């Protein structure tokens, strides 16, 4: 399958993979004299943790009966920015899906109350700060708008979990691990075969980034996309999230998420690589030769991706995209 411009653009919205330095400012003066980093730790940073269930928890309906072929709950991740990420697995084919919602933490209990998810996750015996391998009391209800309401609950019993706690004392991790809003995107396209060199900057609208803006520029420059590819550009990116436990998400305003894992790709911790959580996610189309880097200034972060891709007409494009992010 071709690594076409659509999926590159979607993935660029937050993907990270090896090295290509990028400036934190918007002009040459800022490149030469970057501002000091003034990022503060997110409010929930000390409570961030990932819980992996020892055995997948089957879904039940609101009547208590097990739901046929409904996804099983496999892990729970509470992020530095106070979001709860649920990982669900299809029991028939093993495919993964994800749901992320805002949550709160108080008295050793995570609580969420949103359109798609409601309920609580309580810690057993151990405090939020120790989080040794132990149990959870899970009482989560997930709303599926197409099918039915399903629940993951243990009643008075506890669920055995293994935990991944956050890394402390790592300045690079402290800077990156949070939810970021997208201020804008700088797109740089080049095609030697079509003698095209295009540079365009897009601003977010209402704090969100519209993929249709990238689609219009791509089509104007002669990039060939299928109707199916164009349809996927209708999504709007609300934010991107990184966790110290290695989770990376692209968060859309329609409630959907693309999820991957991430890790540093150089000793200086200025560049990243992505490992897919599910091969069906859109960012599987990032080419192996993708270079991605990060740099910080004030409460800002600039992330840059560079790669070479071919579109549906087999035209080769050199693509560079810089995301301007704000805490």
Examine the pLDDT at 325 and tell me if it is beyond 60.
yes
Examine the pLDDT at 31 and tell me if it is beyond 50.
no
CA 171 to chain centre: 21
Q: How confident is the model at residue 4 (pLDDT cuts 50, 70, 90)?
A: very low
- Residue % of the chain over a pLDDT of 90: 13
Write out the two tokens for 257.
């998420």
Residue 267 backbone dihedrals phi, psi, to 5 degrees: -65, -30
DSSP 191-213: ETTTTEEEEEEEE-BTTBEEHHH
| Packing angle of the helix pair 5-12, 211-220 (nearest 10 deg) | 140
Q: Is the dihedral of CA 247, 98, 239, 79 positive or negative?
A: negative
Angstrom CA distances, 97 to 48, 86, 155, 251, 262, stand at 21, 8, 24, 13, 17
- Distance between CA atoms of residues 287 and 285, nearest Å: 6
- Residue % of the chain over a pLDDT of 70: 78
Q: Exposed, middle or buried: residue 159 (CB in 10 Å: 0-12, 13-18, 19+)?
A: buried
Q: What pLDDT digit, counting tens, does each position of 194-229 carry?
A: 777 777 788 888 888 888 887 887 788 777 777 877
Q: What's the whole-number mean pLDDT along residues 134-140?
A: 81
CB 285 within 8 A of CB 4: yes
Q: What pLDDT digit, counting tens, does each position of 47-71 carry?
A: 888 888 888 998 887 666 777 778 8
- Distance between CA atoms of residues 56 and 200, nearest Å: 46
> In the structure, how many helices (H) and strands (E) does the chain have?
5, 21
Examine the pLDDT at 13 and tell me if it is beyond 50.
no
Model's pTM, two decimal places? Answer: 0.79
Lowest mean pLDDT among 75-79, 102-106, 252-256: 252-256
Q: How confident is the model at residue 163 (pLDDT cuts 50, 70, 90)?
A: confident
Which residues, listed in sequence order, are joined to residue 260 by a DSSP beta bridge?
A: 248, 276
- Distance between CA atoms of residues 75 and 114, nearest Å: 19
Task: Tell me, letter by letter, the H, E, C secondary structure of 158-175.
Answer: CEEEEEEECCCCCHHHHH
Angstrom CA distances, 59 to 63, 232, 283, 300, 324, stand at 11, 30, 28, 41, 40
Query: Most distant CA pair in the chain: distance in Å?
Result: 67
| Other residues' Cβ atoms within 10 Å of the Cβ of residue 47 | 21
Question: Pick from 14, 36, 9: which is nearest to 243 by CA?
Answer: 14
| Residue that the structure tokens 């290695």 belong to | 246
Q: How confident is the model at residue 168 (pLDDT cuts 50, 70, 90)?
A: low
Write out the two tokens for 140.
């989560």
Write out the two tokens for 53.
């269930």
Q: How confident is the model at residue 277 (pLDDT cuts 50, 70, 90)?
A: low
Which residues, listed in sequence order, are joined to residue 72 by a DSSP beta bridge?
A: 89
Which residues, listed in sequence order, are joined to residue 139 by a DSSP beta bridge?
A: 120, 153
- Distance between CA atoms of residues 52 and 129, nearest Å: 17
- Distance between CA atoms of residues 218 and 41, nearest Å: 37
């Amino acid at each position: 399958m071709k690594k076409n411009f659509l999926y590159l653009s979607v993935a660029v919205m937050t993907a990270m993979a090896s090295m290509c330095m990028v400036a934190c400012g918007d002009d040459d003066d800022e490149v030469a004299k970057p501002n000091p980093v003034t990022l503060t730790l997110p409010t929930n940073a000390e409570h961030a943790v990932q819980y992996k269930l020892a055995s997948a928890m089957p879904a039940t309906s609101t009547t208590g009966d097990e739901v046929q072929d409904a996804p099983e709950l496999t892990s729970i991740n509470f992020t530095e920015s106070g979001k709860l990420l649920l990982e669900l697995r299809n029991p028939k084919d093993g495919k993964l899906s994800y749901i992320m919602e805002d949550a709160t933490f108080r008295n050793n209990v995570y609580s969420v109350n949103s359109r798609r998810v409601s309920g609580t996750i309580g810690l057993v015996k151990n405090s939020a700060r120790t989080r040794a391998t132990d149990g959870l009391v899970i009482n989560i209800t997930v709303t599926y708008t197409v099918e039915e309401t399903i629940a993951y609950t243990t009643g008075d019993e506890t669920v055995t979990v293994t935990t991944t706690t956050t890394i402390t004392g790592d300045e690079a991790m402290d800077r990156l691990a949070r939810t970021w809003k997208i201020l804008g995107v700088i797109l740089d396209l080049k095609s030697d075969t079509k003698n095209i060199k295009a540079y365009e900057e897009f601003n977010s609208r209402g704090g969100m980034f519209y993929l249709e803006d990238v689609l219009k520029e791509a089509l104007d420059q002669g990039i060939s996309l299928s109707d199916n590819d164009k349809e996927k550009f209708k999504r709007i990116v609300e934010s991107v999230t990184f966790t110290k436990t290695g989770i990376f998400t692209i968060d859309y305003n329609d409630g959907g998420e693309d999820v991957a894992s991430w890790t540093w790709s150089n000793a200086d911790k200025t560049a990243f690589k992505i490992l897919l959580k599910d091969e069906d996610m859109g960012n599987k189309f990032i080419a192996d030769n993708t270079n991605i880097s990060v740099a910080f200034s004030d409460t800002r972060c600039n992330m840059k991706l560079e790669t070479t891709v071919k579109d549906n007409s087999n035209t080769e494009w050199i693509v560079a995209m810089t995301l301007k992010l704000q805490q």
